[in-house]
Amino acid sequence: MRTEERNGVAGAGRDQFPVGMRVLAVDDDPVCLKVLETLLRRCQYHVTTTNQAVIALRMLRENREMFDLVISDVHMPDMDGFKLLELVGLEMDLPVIMLSVNGETKTVMKGITHGACDYLLKPVRIEELRNIWQHVVRRKFSTRECVTLDTYEECNKPLSADSDYAYGQVTCGSPDQSGRPSKKRKEYHSEEEDEDEDSNGQDNDDPSAPKRPRVVWSVELHRKFVAAVNHLGIDKAVPKRILELMNVEKLTRENVASHLQKYRLYLRRLSAVASQQAGIVAALGGRDPFLRMDAFEGLQGYQAFTSPAALSSFSAHGLSSPRNNQAAVVIQGRSIHTGSVSSTTNNSIGDANKYHLSLQGNQHGKLAQGLATSLGQAQLQQKWMNEDNGDLSAILCGNSLVKGMPSTLRSVTSSTLLPQDQVECTQAKVAIQPSIRAPPASLELLEGAVGASSDPLESRVSQQGALPLCGFSGSRLPVHGPFNNNGATRLGDAFSASFRPTNDLTVARGSKVGASSFGGTIHLSPDTEQKYWSFGSGNSFRQKADESSADSLLDPKLVWSSSQLTSNVDAHHSMSQRSNNCSINIGHGARMFGQISANASPVVPQAKIDFLFSGDTSMARNASESSIPRLQTELSSSTCSFDGLLNSMIKVVTQLISLYLVYHPSYFKEQNQFLEARNPFLFIII
Amino acid sequence: MAAVALKNQLNAHIASMFAAGFLDKQFQELQMLQDDGSSPGFVSEVVGLFIDDAEKITGLIAGLLDQPVVDFDKVDALVHQLKGSSASVGAQRVKLSCEQFHSYYEAKNRDGCVMALALLRNEFYDSRSKFQTMFQLEQQIEACS
């Protein structure tokens, strides 16, 4: 709230509240709009009018601080007034007054239940309008005591709450979209299918309740929440039970309920994104969950919340099924960033798709990656998880997502890596180097997959310096084991830059768990630094992968693997059960995810994805060769079906994402020093 | 003076509109807004908008009812909108006939709707001509002074 700005009386400018209160009036009927405008002006308010809800939303999103109150008609052709009401309430936490000629009780009731502060009947009388300022005051008043807490939190958050209003309040991991061009945000918004942004605000479900302390959903808390939800199953999770499972004092059922609502929206958004991404995959028989990815739109504000299920499943499975022959899992990062996630995502996806298509030239299946948004992963995860023979070559194309992404990615990587247990990763960098062997024709590279070639990656990585992005404790970094065929991929510390798991990133392994526990908001960027996923370019997949191509595909920083992969690619044909180590380096920092470099080349049938988590991840599960605690997913390619590949990819990705999600943004910030330098634009192409 | 006479005429005209139920309290509100001085020409502007809008809406409704299969939801939405705008202006008769229309489209009764539309249109045309007379008088007054 803009308490600071307008503090009742006094001050300059519009401090003669309610005089000068800024109202946004939305009504498709020109007559009503005109009358309303005049009446409001007569009350000495500052009025902005529009006859389209989408324009109104855009204005509000561009600058939340521009208005104090919104008045909207119920019946509008382009968008239902109730929906607008919900969105405004969720995203901007502004008071909304509904207006309608229909005064039926049930309609009024609907307005109130959707969160309207008031419901006026047309024709509106000026007397009624004279008092609408009370709603603004009331809202401010109820959050006043939270203000200090919030601001405190915000100060502590690194990069959080940057221009991204979405994260105004504390939420798990504030996404850090600082780099995001506003244009993207707009696109994001417009594309948002669902308008269900999770409100960044804290769950203050009863705005008018005075003195209610705001609940800050820290990473820790969110993790518990996600764990509880996963335990119960996303469909069956009810606030009461979640609350019981979480066992956190001072948390009320309402807090949980509102947080759950946001979480669900987030998941839905993820799946929407996934479905988009999965479009291609689907065509190839991709998996279901993957298809559900939609654009991230919804991510705005709500840091990517990859669908837990997907992630969990993904993570659980992805890693644990090394044997599967995974073509490179290409994870296209979609740019996830708070705020403009959608736009970015869309862009990225689009690009990815394009890119991917180029890759596809061959029949290889495309790896649906959806990694990018990590969200999508989640979805995929679910399904993928169950795939035993996931052919997963996780190639994470690492484009660092906008700040927020890294976290997600991290989680994903971490999740993928962990075979079946929860992975506790602090912000470890997960270096996943997929050594991807081009699977025989079956593997299609995922869109924008990140092919990480082991060797090149390293070098690349070091070049980019990205890897070290994360403050990952170098020690662990991963670089795990050698890529077969390629020589050992070693991700140097630098390489592993991957994510540094924050504290304990517990990735619910259980793929079995329905709801994946995504940690906190994906804040993709909490750590300001760009989380950078360096993903090898899918080029590697290409049979003839040429290093250069790979590089070109990927963002320079990210490129990894192309060369590596190529070498691996050669190995692909062998479809042997060999597990290639695919290390996917997920670098922090925003980086564009390398497009999957056209490696459409057949994915290596066996790809082992090693996710390296440096730091204190306790998950070292993999038995894989590296001694470094790293998560390795060995995907043995049993089949080169692109499905399998996709699955595996998705799994990996989702796991990674889930891992990330768990991170608390602020934590990240501390950890990642490198990322600053990186291009904050994290773009994961899927 | 001519202006005075015209003003008297205008007032009488408006009074008769009120008496006949063409106008209601909302119109008075609008008049007061205008009379405050800060929004001159406000009433005529709004009424002008209303007339154009209503014309368009009634045309659309007629078109919808002409279809082999009537989309009653759309009809509903249009009537609803017209009701809102007429209420905002204070065109009472039009508003009332919109309300009557409601029962017909609720019942998805095409013939009933057609009839209701005819009634609605009549009311609207009547109101429109009254408004136009009002505007002419106002313009004449303007011209005089």
Q: What are A550-560's pLDDT values in tens digits?
A: 333 333 333 33
- Has residue A367 got a pLDDT over 60? no
Token pair for residue B6? 């015209």
User: Rounded to an integer, what distance in angstroms lies between the CA atom of residue A63 and that of residue A338?
Assistant: 15
- Has residue A543 got a pLDDT over 60? no
Nearest to A392 by CA among A313, A306, A331: A331
- Has residue A49 got a pLDDT over 90? yes
Distant-in-sequence, close-in-space partners of A293: CB < 8 Å, separation ≥ 6? A270, A271, A272, A273, A274, A275, A276, A277, A278, A370, A373, A375, A376, A379, A380, A686
Q: What is the pLDDT, as a whole number, of residue A50?
A: 92
Q: What are A161-188's pLDDT values in tens digits?
A: 344 433 334 343 334 444 344 444 444 4
Q: Which residue has the higher pLDDT, A249 or A20?
A: A20
Q: What is the pLDDT, as a whole number, of residue A662?
A: 61
Q: What is the pLDDT, as a whole number, of residue B129?
A: 93
Q: What is the pLDDT, as a whole number, of residue A240?
A: 84
Distant-in-sequence, close-in-space partners of B129: CB < 8 Å, separation ≥ 6? none
H helical segments located in A465-560: 493-496, 547-553
- pLDDT tens per residue, chain B (145 residues)? 678 888 888 889 989 999 998 898 888 888 888 887 777 788 888 999 999 999 999 999 888 888 888 888 888 888 989 999 999 888 889 988 988 888 777 777 788 888 888 999 999 999 999 999 998 888 888 888 7
Q: With an 8 Å Cβ cutoff, is B88 touching chain A?
A: yes
- Taking each continuous run of H as one helix and of E as one strand, the counts in chain B are 6, 0
What does R_g of chain A's alpha carbons equal in angstroms? 24
Pairing of strands A22-26, A69-73: parallel
Q: Which residue has the higher pLDDT, A642 or A446?
A: A642
Q: With an 8 Å Cβ cutoff, is A28 touching chain B?
A: yes
**Residues of A numbered 135-194 whose beta carbons fall under 8 angstroms of chain B's beta carbons: which are they?**
none
| Residue numbers in B near A29 (CB within 8 A) | 53, 81, 84-85, 88
Q: Provide the percentage of residues in chain A whose pLDDT is more than 70.
A: 28
Q: What is the pLDDT, as a whole number, of residue A418?
A: 40
Q: What are A139-157's pLDDT values in tens digits?
A: 877 776 555 444 444 444 4
Amino acid at A601: S
Q: How many CA atoms lie within 13 A of A39 on its CB side?
A: 27
Q: Which residue has the higher pLDDT, A189 or B57?
A: B57
Q: Which of A7-21, A242-256, A438-452 is predicted most confidently?
A: A242-256
- DSSP-based three-state secondary structure for A509: coil
pLDDT band for A594, please (50, 70, 90 cuts): very low
Q: Which residue has the higher pLDDT, A441 or A126?
A: A126
Q: What is the pLDDT, as a whole number, of residue A493?
A: 37
Q: How many CA atoms lie within 13 A of A424 on its CB side?
A: 6
What does R_g of chain B's alpha carbons equal in angstroms? 17
Q: Which residue has the higher pLDDT, A345 or A243?
A: A243
pLDDT band for A134, please (50, 70, 90 cuts): confident
Distant-in-sequence, close-in-space partners of A232: CB < 8 Å, separation ≥ 6? A238, A241, A242, A245, A515
Q: Concatenated DSSP letters for A222-236?
A: HHHHHHHHHHH-TTT
Q: Which of A225-229, A383-387, A392-396 is predicted most confidently?
A: A225-229
- Has residue A533 got a pLDDT over 50? no
- DSSP-based three-state secondary structure for A455: helix
Q: With an 8 Å Cβ cutoff, is B80 touching chain A?
A: yes
Q: What is the pLDDT, as a whole number, of residue A282?
A: 54
Q: Which of A144-148, A389-393, A453-457 is predicted most confidently?
A: A144-148
Q: Which residue has the higher pLDDT, A493 or A112?
A: A112
The beta-strand segments (E) located in A417-514 are: 423-424, 430-432, 482-483, 487-488, 506-507
Give me the residue from B38, B45, B84 closest to A29, CB to CB: B84
Kind and range of the H or E element at A657? helix A642-662
Kind and range of the H or E element at A152? helix A133-156
- Has residue A262 got a pLDDT over 80? yes
Q: With an 8 Å Cβ cutoff, is B85 touching chain A?
A: yes
Kind and range of the H or E element at A635? strand A630-635
Q: With an 8 Å Cβ cutoff, is A29 touching chain B?
A: yes
User: Rounded to an integer, what distance in angstroms lies between the CA atom of residue A491 and that of residue A466?
Assistant: 12
**Residues of A numbered 40-79 whose beta carbons fall under 8 angstroms of chain B's beta carbons: which are they?**
41-42, 73, 75, 77
Site from A26, A27, A35, A80 to mutate, B interface, most B CB atoms within 10 angstroms: A35
Q: With an 8 Å Cβ cutoff, is B26 touching chain A?
A: yes
Q: What is the pLDDT, as a whole number, of residue A496?
A: 36
Q: Which residue has the higher pLDDT, A384 or B2?
A: B2
- Has residue A8 got a pLDDT over 60? no
- Has residue A430 got a pLDDT over 60? no
Nearest to A523 by CA among A250, A154, A207, A126: A154
- Has residue A582 got a pLDDT over 80? no
Q: What is the ipTM of this complex?
A: 0.91
Measured over the CA atoms of residue B120, residue B121, residue B122 and residue B123, the dihedral's sign is: positive
Give me the residue from B30, B36, B88 closest to A32, CB to CB: B88
- Has residue A112 got a pLDDT over 80? yes
Q: What is the pLDDT, as a whole number, of residue A47?
A: 92
Q: Give CA torsion, residues A669, A670, A674, A678, to 10 deg.
A: 10
| Residue numbers in B near A130 (CB within 8 A) | none
pTM: 0.41
What is the residue whose two structure tokens read 């154009």? B52
What is the residue whose two structure tokens read 């009379």? B35
Give me the residue from A38, A77, A126 closest to B39, CB to CB: A38
Token pair for residue A353? 């798709």
Mean pLDDT of A629-649: 50
Nearest to A315 by CA among A686, A648, A620, A627: A648
The whole-angstrom distance between A73's CA and the closest CA on chain B is 10
- DSSP-based three-state secondary structure for A424: strand
User: Rounded to an integer, what distance in angstroms lies between the CA atom of residue A372 and that of residue A332?
Assistant: 5
Q: What is the pLDDT, as a whole number, of residue A146?
A: 54
Measured in degrees and rounded to the nearest 5, phi and psi for residue B51 equal -60, -45
Q: Which class for A128: exposed (0-12), middle (13-18), buried (19 or more C-beta within 10 A)?
A: middle
- Has residue A436 got a pLDDT over 60? no
- Has residue A319 got a pLDDT over 60? no
The whole-angstrom distance between B127's CA and the closest CA on chain A is 16
Pairing of strands A118-121, A69-73: unpaired
- Has residue A461 got a pLDDT over 60? no
Q: With an 8 Å Cβ cutoff, is A122 touching chain B?
A: yes
Q: Which residue has the higher pLDDT, A684 or A100?
A: A100
Q: What are A114-133's pLDDT values in tens digits?
A: 888 899 998 888 888 888 88
User: Rounded to an integer, what distance in angstroms lies between the CA atom of residue B88 and that of residue A152?
Assistant: 47
Contact A35 B30 (CB under 8 A): yes
Contact A122 B84 (CB under 8 A): yes
Intra-chain end-to-end CA distance of chain A, in Å: 36
Q: What is the pLDDT, as a whole number, of residue A15?
A: 62
pLDDT band for A71, please (50, 70, 90 cuts): very high
Q: How many CA atoms lie within 13 A of A674 on its CB side?
A: 33
What's the 3-state SS for A157-204? CCCCCCCCHHHCCCCCCCCCCCCCCHHHHHHHHHHCCCCCCCCCCCCC
- Has residue A449 got a pLDDT over 60? no
- DSSP-based three-state secondary structure for A73: strand
| Residue numbers in A near B131 (CB within 8 A) | none
Amino acid at A275: S
Give me the residue from B26, B29, B49 closest to A34, CB to CB: B49
How far is residue A626 from each of residues A473, A490, A630, A656, measured CA to CA in Å? 16, 9, 7, 19
- Has residue A100 got a pLDDT over 70? yes
Q: What is the pLDDT, as a whole number, of residue B51?
A: 92
Q: Concatenated DSSP letters for B64-87?
A: HHHSSS--HHHHHHHHHHHHHHHH
- DSSP-based three-state secondary structure for A506: strand
User: Rounded to an integer, what distance in angstroms lies between the CA atom of residue A303 and that of residue A203?
Assistant: 15
What is the residue whose two structure tokens read 């070109």? A552
Do A191 and A339 meet the contact criterion of CB atoms below 8 Å apart? no
- Has residue A4 got a pLDDT over 60? no
Token pair for residue B143? 């011209």
Contact A42 B77 (CB under 8 A): no
Q: Which residue has the higher pLDDT, B109 or A482?
A: B109
Of all residues in chain A, the one with the smallest CA distance to B26 is A123
| Residue numbers in A near B49 (CB within 8 A) | 30-31, 34
Contact A34 B46 (CB under 8 A): yes
pLDDT band for A281, please (50, 70, 90 cuts): low
What's the 3-state SS for A301-344? CCCECCCHHHHHHHHHHHHHCCCCECCCCEECCCCCCCCCHHHH
Q: Which class for A585: exposed (0-12), middle (13-18), buried (19 or more C-beta within 10 A)?
A: buried
What's the 3-state SS for B17-61? HHHCCCECHHHHHHHHHHHCCCCCCHHHHHHHHHHHHHHHHHHHH
User: Rounded to an integer, what distance in angstroms lies between the CA atom of residue A27 and that of residue A9?
Assistant: 30
Kind and range of the H or E element at A358? helix A341-360
- Mean model confidence pLDDT for chain A: 53
Q: Which residue has the higher pLDDT, A663 or A466?
A: A663
Q: What is the pLDDT, as a whole number, of residue A541?
A: 36
The whole-angstrom distance between B85's CA and the closest CA on chain A is 5
Nearest to A678 by CA among A503, A429, A444, A313: A429
Q: Which residue has the higher pLDDT, B82 or A590?
A: B82
Length of chain B: 145
CA A664 distance to own-chain centroid: 13
